[in-house]
Amino acid sequence: MSESLTDAELTVLGLVAERPRHGYDLEAVIEARGIRQWTSLAFSAIYYVLGRLESRALVSSTRPDGTAKGRRVYAATPAGVRVLADATRRALAELRPTHPSILAGLANSPALPGAEVVDALRAREAQVAERLAAIQAARAAQEPVADFVAAIFDYATTQLQAERAWIATTTANLEKNMATKSDIKRDRKDLYGPRAGSFQLVDVPELPFLMIDGKGDPNTSPSYQDAVTALYALSYALKFASKSQLGRDYVVAPLEGLWSADDPTVFVTRAKGDWRWTMLITQPEWITAAMVDEAIRLTATKKGLPAVDQVRFERYAEGLAVQVLHVGSYDDEGPVLVRLHHEFMPANGLTFNGPHHEIYLSDPRRTEPAKLRTILRQPVARS
């Protein structure tokens, strides 16, 4: 059975097979040839790799000056030359699976807004361009180069050029889809785009929602976390079903919450244990009850989420409401609600006509509390 070599071992063995070399000579060649552009081989690892090769009798070392402290010079042994030839043939002939992290990123990209995906890919493109320029500069510094060296440079630059072309195509498609896919935040700015600090009267139409009920502090209640997880799982299942079955794509809407209590002042005092909540995510009008039932069945089967079977699909209408954009921590909403309840509503002849409603435009896992953007909405009636 042939011996296997890591890419670093194969590289170092090949260099000492060219001619005997000491560690600093290897470092100079690796740097001059731009080998680190395609192989991970730090200077500190060179002697470690040489030690591994020597322990397997693939290289041998001597001190030509005959002193105990002289530099060790390493050369490939006859066995090392045979292993080198075999490993080189396999490296050239075999297509090895790779697992670049970008594939995991793409698989999870639906969790990000489309604009963030585009920005991230453009940042990647800048890094690709920088690496491409470095490889081209390394080649220019060594010209003329042997055919095998030219092939190395050609392979590396072709890969990077292909990636740049792929990024350009992908970002263009994403931007095109962003312009055409349904996005309720963009399409209904009257409902999802209020200004910070300015109370606004809106007429909220009846909309379809996935909804789930519960009670208690959202920061500590396991049932709250289960409810939110179930809503998002079903919302993305419906998004993918819509795209695959109907050819209609859309941006998953933000999480929303209806909050109520026997004593409304608990929202100002932040007595969260007394809060009753209905968490909800609006769905496009073309999503049907049958699609929701199937999404619940598949999600319950595949993911086993405890709250999926508690989610319902309903239409909900608020009618006349007052809303405002709050920027900051959820716990800093109190003063805004005081102004809404005790100043704006009485001054405009408005009374409560439904539960307190919040729409979460920011992801609290990725946003500083001071920068959280939340729409505070209160259904009202004219007194």
Give me the number of domains the chain comprises: 3
Q: For 196-205, what is the mean pLDDT? A: 93
In-domain check, residue 149:
yes
Last residue of a domain, one of 118, 146, 180: 180
CA dihedral sign of residues 98, 101, 105, 107: positive
Six-digit token pair at 196?
């910070």
Q: For 248-274, what is the mean pLDDT? A: 85
Residue 167 sits in the same domain as residue 198:
no
Closest CA relative to residue 242, chosen from 179, 288, 198: 288
Host domain of residue 232: 186-382
Residue 70 sits in the same domain as residue 213:
no
The residues, any chain, with a CB within 8 Å of residue 245's CB and separated by 6 or more, are: 291
CB 299 within 8 A of CB 308: yes
Q: For 110-126, what is the mean pLDDT? A: 87
CB 71 within 8 A of CB 23: yes
Residue 97 clears pLDDT 90, i.e. is over it: no
Residue 224 sits in the same domain as residue 295:
yes
Higher pLDDT, 314 or 306: 314
The residues, any chain, with a CB within 8 Å of residue 1's CB and separated by 6 or more, are: none
With a pLDDT cut of 90, the percent of the chain lying above it is 62
Q: Which residues of 316-351 are buried (b: 16+ CB within 10 A; e: fewer)?
A: bebebbbbbbbebebeebeebbeebbeebbeeeebe
Closest CA relative to residue 267, chosen from 371, 355, 353, 380: 355
Residue 11 sits in the same domain as residue 147:
no
CATH code, domain with 236 = 3.20.80.10
Six-digit token pair at 209?
């929602």
Rg for the chain, CA atoms, rounded: 31
pLDDT, tens digit, 9 for 90 and up, residues 319-347: 999 999 999 999 899 899 999 999 999 99
Q: What is the pLDDT of residue 1?
A: 45
Average pLDDT, the chain: 90
In-domain check, residue 98:
no
The tokens 């920011």 sit on which residue?
Answer: 362
In-domain check, residue 100:
no
Residue 291 sits in the same domain as residue 316:
yes
CATH code, domain with 65 = 1.10.10.10
End-to-end alpha carbon distance in the chain: 89
Q: What is the pLDDT of residue 2?
A: 62
Q: Tell me the pTM.
A: 0.58
Residue 341 sits in the same domain as residue 290:
yes
Closest CA relative to residue 178, chosen from 124, 232, 109: 109
Which pairs with CB-CB distance under 8 Å and at least 24 residues apart come from 305-309?
305/226, 305/229, 305/230, 305/233, 306/226, 306/230, 307/212, 307/223, 307/226, 307/227, 307/229, 307/230, 308/230, 308/233, 308/234
Last residue of a domain, one of 180, 214, 237: 180
Residue 216 sits in the same domain as residue 126:
no
Residue 120 sits in the same domain as residue 244:
no
Q: Which residues of 41-79 are buried (b: 16+ CB within 10 A; e: fewer)?
A: beeeebeebbebbbebebbbbeeeeeeeeeeebbbbbee
In-domain check, residue 61:
yes
Six-digit token pair at 287?
């999503």
Q: What is the pLDDT of residue 98?
A: 79
Residue 370 sits in the same domain as residue 303:
yes
CB 344 within 8 A of CB 199: yes
In-domain check, residue 73:
yes
Residue 3 clears pLDDT 90, i.e. is over it: no
Give the total residue count for the chain: 383
Supply the DSSP string of 300-367, one letter for each residue. HHHH--TTGGG-EEEEE--EEEEEEEEES-GGG-HHHHHHIIIIIHHHTTEEE-S-EEEEE-S-TTTS
The tokens 């139409």 sit on which residue?
Answer: 205
Residue 234 sits in the same domain as residue 205:
yes
pLDDT, tens digit, 9 for 90 and up, residues 347-369: 999 999 999 999 999 988 889 99
pLDDT, tens digit, 9 for 90 and up, residues 269-309: 777 888 899 999 999 999 999 999 999 999 988 888 889 99
